Amino acid sequence: MITKEEIQELLHSTETYRVERTTSTNDMDKFQEAICAFSNDLPNSRKNGYLILGAYDNGTLSGLKVTDALLKKIAAIRSDGNILPVPVMSVDRFVFPEGEVLVAEVTPSMLPPVRYRGRTFIRIGPRRDIATEAEERLLAEKRTSYMATFDTMPCLAAKLTDIDTELVHSKFLEKLFGKELLSADKRPVEDQLSAVGMYDIENNCPTNAAMVLFGKRPRHFMPGLYVQYVRFKGEDVSSEVENEIQLEGNYCELLPRLESLLELSVIKKKPVFVSMLREEMVSNFPYTAIRELVMNGCMHRDLQSNMPLRIYEFAHRLEITNAGGLYGNARPENFPTINDYRNPLIASAMKTMGYVNMFNRGVGQVQTDLKENGNPPAEFVVDLITAFRVNVTDVANSVIKIVVKDVVNTDLSQAVLSSVPSLSQAVTSLSQVLSQVCHKLEREYYASVIKVMAGLTKEPQSLRSLMQLTGDTNRGRFKNNVMRHLLDAGFIEPTITDNPNSSKQKYTLTVKGKELMKSYEI
């Protein structure tokens, strides 16, 4: 709080933008407008402002008697909700021979613009006024400049010994400055790290970015700093888990291991249907696209969350989820055209180490790589608020959609189907889903089952029509090997339930069957 000597100087000060003198004790609007203006500190003086009650404009005192009631009334301005964000202020009484003064000391806000009843007040020299649109924009820019990102802030619980300084030099500083320039730098390591934002000299500790990139025990300080990879047999997290891997460590150690995980466990090559008589080896996902998505997840994640970066591989798709939704200027309506960096220091370091490019071309390149590999476009889920998710469908699942439509729209006989192995491989995706509930279904009838399911997406069909669609001429065999399994599994149902053997009997998809076919866009 200000001293009596400083008050006497301010009473006659020429720094009029910092002082408002008044003899009034009841003009609450005037008082609150003044406090709002001091909070905004448009001149960016970084100095406290003072509202002095009991003084004339020329600095002489009015002989005011400051009561406890007046002190409480002025102090209540802070929390009455009229000034937002809440101002940082203190109130005190000072006694002089000529009389008393009440002084409200106001600290410049770190979150401007500050508004009183929705209006932004500022000081322009000795005058108080309402901010123009341009002046409000300046205040908003000040707010942004005050708000340090989490990665640039000091990790107060850590010490220099908690980071691997050899990694800092070999993996980062040498690439950033070159060996010759670095070897000529004889400054203490703390000063070298401080120059690149990795050390906070004032608090004598590494920054959060240093702990993420080079920390010896980063999870000790940030519990969510790890990667969880899980491969499921089915299409959701309730299905059986085939494999689970957890990776942790600083980014210098973690990111290379993450690249190896993608190459060895996620990216797989398999023969896929290309034409009726040809197949070729294609990756389920393009490595470059998945790597870009994973590295972006590491770069943009909310490091204050306890949630890990999740890479979930399902039977026919990959789901990548990280903590933290769209950040800063990025919005659902402008993504991915506009991007912003939640962790600019980490992003810059990852660029230096060769893991990202920071050209805002990543999403576009991902979609291009997926298209060239035969995958559908990646689906970005940007409305989760506290998380960001991307779904990528594998090549086999994409091909099956083409094959099923081809089976429905083309007059292919059962003989042709059985003579082309690639078609059987291509329908495996949907067949596996069907066989999970049609346990006794023989593989040679998968194509017929798919044709029946796809044919019923248009309208109900008679048994004869479905037999013609599949090319099967044996009624008993068709009912036993195809229809019975679909009925038992609940994928289809008869339209005439009280007379199953009616001559007018037809079959249609159930809700369960429709949902399955809808998932294949059929």
Q: Which domains does the chain have, with CATH numbers?
A: 4-146 (3.30.950), 152-221 (no CATH), 226-393 (3.30.565.60), 397-519 (1.10.10)
3-state secondary structure 310-326: EEEECCCEEEEEEECCC
CA–CA gap between residue 132 and residue 33 (Å, rounded): 15
Averaged pLDDT for residues 40-61? 92
Indicate the SS3 state at residue 512: helix
Does residue 94 contact residue 3 with C-beta atoms inside 8 Å? no
User: Radius of gyration (Cα) for the chain, nearest Å?
Assistant: 35
Does residue 399 contact residue 424 with C-beta atoms inside 8 Å? no
Averaged pLDDT for residues 96-123? 93
In one letter, which amino acid is 371? Answer: K
CA–CA gap between residue 231 and residue 264 (Å, rounded): 13
For 410, residues 6+ apart whose C-beta sits below 8 A from its C-beta are: none
pLDDT digits (tens, 9 = 90+) for 236-291: 899 999 999 999 999 999 999 999 999 999 998 866 544 434 456 778 899 999 99
Q: Taking 60 as the threshold, does the pLDDT of residue 405 lie above it?
A: no
pLDDT value at residue 332: 85
Residue 226 — pLDDT band, cuts 50, 70, 90? very high
pLDDT value at residue 425: 45
Nearest of 446, 460, 442, 471 to residue 510 by alpha carbon: 460
Does residue 247 contact residue 258 with C-beta atoms inside 8 Å? yes
For 254, residues 6+ apart whose C-beta sits below 8 A from its C-beta are: 226, 227, 247, 248, 298
pLDDT digits (tens, 9 = 90+) for 344-377: 999 999 999 999 986 777 899 999 999 888 788 9
Does residue 432 contact residue 396 with C-beta atoms inside 8 Å? no
CA–CA gap between residue 378 and residue 389 (Å, rounded): 10
Does residue 247 contact residue 262 with C-beta atoms inside 8 Å? no
Residue 235 — pLDDT band, cuts 50, 70, 90? confident
The burial of 102, by beta-carbon neighbours within 10 Å (0-12 exposed, 13-18 middle, 19 or more buried), is given as buried
Residue 50, strand partner residues: 19, 105
For the chain, the distance separating the N- and C-terminal CA atoms, rounded to the nearest angstrom, is: 73
